[in-house]
Structure 1
Amino acid sequence: MKVLTRAVLRGATALVGVVALCGMFGPPAQAATAPPHFADGFGLTVVSQPRWADDKKRTFTFTVRSDQVPAYSVLPGQVSGEHTIMVTLPSGYDGAAATRYPVHYTLHGAPEYPEAPRNKVITERSTEGVPLITVTPNGGGRGWYSNWVNPGELGRQNWETFHLDQLIPLVDANLRTIPAKEGRAISGHSMGGFGAFHYAEHRPELFRYVGSFSGDLDLLNPEIRAAVVGSEVLSQNGTPTVAVDAVFGPPVWPLDGVWNEQSPAQHVGSLRGMGVAMYTGDGGDLTVDPILAVAENRVRQTALVTAANLTAEGIPHRFVDYGDGSSWAEGCTGKHSQQACLQADMDDFVKLITK
């Protein structure tokens, strides 16, 4: 599958030559020594301009404020209302050149920071030599990539609106992107896997590919409901904590309509025509690191339900069920949130979207 070889850019009257995800990439230009500058817009205020993460000058972070999530439950070191965004550029990216690049939005899990060192490592390794921009937005320790039903004292928690209606156009306005469905992919791990499918199902006009890495895809599953409720009330997912009905409303019948409506596994029909991929292990030896082993074993069930529904809808998809991980990647033992497993997931997904 190819994202595109040429794209009609919005507002343009002629076809613009672009870098295709299929690898049609000429000699790289010299990368700029300074990271790109971002201007305010689309309801976002840039409070910290991009800064390189290291001397390789491929990855930078910048910080924005959003009127859609003006405050949120923070992890240690975070400032409520300030959202760090991590961006990895392709080697040779030149903001002054005519070349445009596809963008891969990848969503972190909970509780995690978008700029966590392992996220940077996984992204940079998977995109080495690949003409692809990768954007990792802040999803909070319990944002669940959704517009919350009952945010309470935190105020508006419209994470979906923040990411889809504000961040995507901000990135397109400030980087050399292909600003169209054909030039976008989205993926995520755990809570982020839910978010990737949730966003792709709600806004299929935005994305060409979607991927889940051990994602929480079935909100009808009582174990996943328990995990969401746990994330709302545990301080490890951010402070202050919130009520159990904050994100999706009450989790019990007959008041659980939002849970049912927002469950990706049961609403796969809108993914038709999109490249779809899911990756999961089975936990391996459940007596070793049992919490993460059981967590992976249970999210696997949500992937099985999603795969069955995709098949029933006649929607082609790639489903990598790698069991104990022994045949998937060195160091992967099939547990939840293992870096070796996630690296292999990301490597495979990037190859899929760049064929």
Structure 2
Amino acid sequence: MIRFLAAVIATTALSAPAPAPPVFTDGFGLVVTSQPRWVDDNHRTFVFNVSTDQVPTPTLLPGQEPGRHAIVVTLPAGYDPATRYPVQYYLHGHPDRPDAAWNQRVVENATRDVPLITVQPNGSGRGWYSNWVNPGALGPQNWETFHLEQVIPFVDANLSTIASRSGRAIVGHSMGGFGAFHYAEHRPDLFRYAGSFSGALDLQNSEVRAAVVASSVNPGSGSPVAGADAIFGPPVWPFDGVWNAQSPAQHAASLRGMGVALYSGNGGDLAVNPIQAVLENRARETALVTAAHLRAAGIPFHFSDYGDGSGWAVGCSGKHAEEACVQADMNHFVGLFMR
């Protein structure tokens, strides 16, 4: 009899319908073009699509659809609409996308059993989380306006969030690390914590400028390509005023009163996976410049400068976009913010 009852209970559990994801309503300039659908077996992570007049025609990576921006949301286990949750916005790198499997894994692992909502908005393969200066035939590419003035209030209106600065953090990897500090500096009223995982934080660095320009003209960053001056204007003096004005490292004083965290490796063995090693090594240089400006401004911050990664996480060798390293970064950042 006991075995029979156990079998009935197990069968009932297996046949129980999955909880429905939230239903979203248009607003704040966003039109929902596809409602949320679960993308994980635990029914924590869903993806939906929106259109926006701020970036009506983003450049597209393979599999992306014209005019549609994927946004990925990971809810806490047992999400209760009657409870208000803090939110972290996680900005992906280049050339990446919010619905990449590895981004989902990093977020789900770091927030398991944590009462935190994570939102990953589309930043395009080359959006650089900025309102472009010269988008040309691409049309408006106002990524900053899209994310800060549309996505954030839209999320607060459709999910049970702590809709204030005290309950909001922003963090990103690589290009997204730039975006996180860039957004936090422009709108310190929105965020309590900001973090960068190997971000390109110094637009006055000639190597970073070269990387941004390369991402603009490289077909691998999305189709169609953009002009070399599309995002921040010409990258050379005396026409580089926008580059200088938008560089997070030199404007770190705007982060005063906010929790700040930097994470970077040094590339490890430069003879192994040399491209990713050099990218991380150069990203670290921009973190060091940012740290110097934070110290000069008297702003406390956390810096995990983990070298070759051997003491940071199993499988981390200190290289750029290495999942084990980014996972350890995210685990630590979530702990700081939630603490």
Confirm or deny a common fold (TM above 0.5): yes
The one-character-per-residue Cα deviations of 1:288-347 (angstroms, maximum 9, x if unpaired) are 000000010011000000000000000000011000000000000000000000000000
1:242 equivalent in alignment to 2:212: no
Match of 1:42 among 16, 28, 35: 28
Task: Give 1:111-260 correspondences, 5 Å limit.
Answer: 111-260=95-244
1:327 equivalent in alignment to 2:295: no
Q: Taking structure 1 as the reference length, what is the TM-score of the superposition?
A: 0.90
Match of 1:59 among 36, 45, 61: 45
How far off its partner does 1:42 sit?
0.4
Q: In the aligned structure 2, how far is the partner of 1:72 from the partner of 1:170?
A: 20
Compare the two structures and name the one with the higher helix fraction.
2
Which amino acid counterpart does residue 135 of structure 1 have in structure 2? V
1:274 equivalent in alignment to 2:258: yes
Q: Taking structure 2 as the reference length, what is the TM-score of the superposition?
A: 0.94
Task: Give 1:63-142 correspondences, 5 Å limit.
Answer: 63-95=49-81, 97=82, 99-142=83-126
Alignment coverage as a number of residue pairs: 323
Q: In the aligned structure 1, how far is the partner of 2:196 from the partner of 2:313?
A: 17
Q: Would the aligned equivalents of 1:285 and 1:324 in 2 still touch at CA under 8 Å?
A: yes
Q: In the aligned structure 2, how far is the partner of 1:231 from the partner of 1:256?
A: 18
Largest Rg, 1 or 2? 2
Which amino acid counterpart does residue 120 of structure 2 have in structure 1? T
Change (3 A) 1:103 1:32: farther
Match of 2:298 among 304, 314, 317: 314
In structure 2, the partner of 1:291 is: 275
Q: In the aligned structure 1, how far is the partner of 2:23 from the partner of 2:80?
A: 12
Q: In the aligned structure 2, how far is the partner of 1:90 from the partner of 1:252?
A: 46
For structure 1, the 5+ residue unaligned runs are: 1-30
How far off its partner does 1:72 sit?
1.2
Structure ranking higher on relative contact order (CA contacts 8 Å, 6+ apart): 1
Q: In the aligned structure 1, how far is the partner of 2:153 from the partner of 2:65?
A: 24
Percent of matched pairs sharing the same residue: 68
Which amino acid counterpart does residue 215 of structure 2 have in structure 1? S
Which amino acid counterpart does residue 347 of structure 1 have in structure 2? N
Secondary structure at the counterpart of residue 70 of structure 2: strand
Structure 1 runs of 4+ aligned residues shifted over 6 Å read none
Give the CA RMSD over aligned residues: 0.9
Q: In the aligned structure 1, how far is the partner of 2:116 from the partner of 2:189?
A: 20
Secondary structure at the counterpart of residue 199 of structure 2: coil
